[in-house]
Amino acid sequence: MRFSAARVFWEGLTGNTGWTPHWRSPEPKSEYDIVIIGGGGHGLATAFYLAKEHGLTNVAVLEKGWIGGGNVGRNTTIVRANYGMPGNSEFYSHSLKLWEVMEQELNYNAMMSQRGVYNLFHSDGQRDAYARRGNTMINQGDDAHLLDRAAVRVRLPFLDHDNARFPVLGALYHGRGGTARHDAVAWGYARGADMRGVDIIQNCEVTGIDIEAGRVRGVQTTRGAIRAKKVGIVVAGRSSQVAAMAGLRLPIESHVLQAFVTEGLKPLIDTVVTFGMGHFYISQSDKGGLVFGGDLDFYASYAQRGNLPMAEHVMEAGMALMPMIGQAKMLRSWGGIMDMTPDGSPIIDRTPVDGLYLDAGWCYGGFKAVPGSGFSFAHLIATDTHHAPAARFRLDRFARGDLIDEEATGSQHNLH
């Protein structure tokens, strides 16, 4: 089934009775060439690019819950390519280019909206750091503009520009950044992979990884054993637990990250704003809710839910940046489990087990990475060579001390 304006119009006239499920629900086969563990954004994008770029379609994506139930459907939907470190810079640049063609490629409306991202700065030192970052982005071929305080005052009049502690001195503006509807991204990749022959199997938890003589042979699942020549682990917050099934200990801690949404309001923020002196970022959804988030919980946990201390912490940052947010009623909050690495950057690599691959460590920034990660992980699994934009995301960099430490906060997971 192809989507088009004519189709929407016709279905509207005929009672919307012609829509069909977006993907099949096949029974798992006993054997596949490739099994992807985890039906989040990264796993589904990997399956899609395996089929599209490499013609590999004897592939299954095994998801323990339902498509869109993990972090891919829980994030604050911010997409950007404003990284400064070699490794991240080229990777996120590539990922943003894929975002820009993704809806056409998938024939799916993911509500990609390049509404721009403002990173505010509040001190001279922070301005210099953003100027440096902007230059890196431009050198990478992406867009960046350093705005002074007058320009930001005109563009974002609702901020507390003259806050005594954190005055707004300007912003780094990235016009090609923005937001997308998170679960639609998962649905679009699921549909795209399914249409090319990939089996997407929900309610199928992987409980063990079969290894013989140092080589992966398949997986054990709640729906039986499945043999596979190659297996990819792409399970976000559960990376350490699933890798442990293969005897691997990862340099990853899992932490909860929360997000919040207010009641629907009239159009107020037509862009994305990040606070430079606290961890706070905000945009407005198409339904009108203000969508915002902040820091990770400061301790490791697998609790996939929110808690009040962090809610208070995030609201405080929001009130410091834009006090009028105190007038809005909070509607909902939720949490997702983040796989935090010691340098805040991801891993796309082979593991010491032949045929077993790992895509993990996306921390709290992996939504924007979905297309790039899927593309690069598919390349690695299909060709056994690293895709150039992701070539630095090696598992052994932590042992070598070759960190990609974007935040310059060292090896403390919860500060990344």
Binding stretches for ligand FAD (CB under 6 A): 37-43, 62-65, 69-72, 74-78, 205-206, 234-236, 238, 242, 257-259, 293, 336, 362, 364-368
- Give the nearer residue to ligand FAD in terms of CB position, either 76 or 351: 76
- What's the closest the beta carbon of residue 256 comes to ligand FAD, in angstroms? 8
Q: CA dist 355 to 33, 48, 352, 413, Å?
A: 11, 19, 9, 28
- What's the closest the beta carbon of residue 388 comes to ligand FAD, in angstroms? 21
- Give the nearer residue to ligand FAD in terms of CB position, either 41 or 355: 41
- What's the closest the beta carbon of residue 297 comes to ligand FAD, in angstroms? 11
- What's the closest the beta carbon of residue 161 comes to ligand FAD, in angstroms? 24
Q: Give the end-to-end CA distance of the chain in Å, rounded to a whole number.
A: 42
Q: Which residue of the chain is nearest ligand FAD when measured via CB?
A: 40
- Beta pairing, strands 280-284 & 272-275: antiparallel
Handedness of CA 88, 89, 93, 99 (dihedral sign): positive
Backbone angles phi, psi at 311, to 5 degrees: -60, -45
Three-state DSSP state, 81 = coil
Structure tokens belonging to residue 343? 């340098």
- What's the closest the beta carbon of residue 38 comes to ligand FAD, in angstroms? 3
Closest CA to 2 of 192, 201, 198: 192
- Give the nearer residue to ligand FAD in terms of CB position, either 127 or 174: 174
- Give the nearer residue to ligand FAD in terms of CB position, either 75 or 88: 75
- What's the closest the beta carbon of residue 104 comes to ligand FAD, in angstroms? 21
> By the 8 A CB rule, do 80 and 142 touch?
no
- Give the nearer residue to ligand FAD in terms of CB position, either 131 or 245: 245
Backbone angles phi, psi at 146, to 5 degrees: -95, 115
- Give the nearer residue to ligand FAD in terms of CB position, either 132 or 332: 332
- Which residues sit opposite 253 in a β-bridge? 340
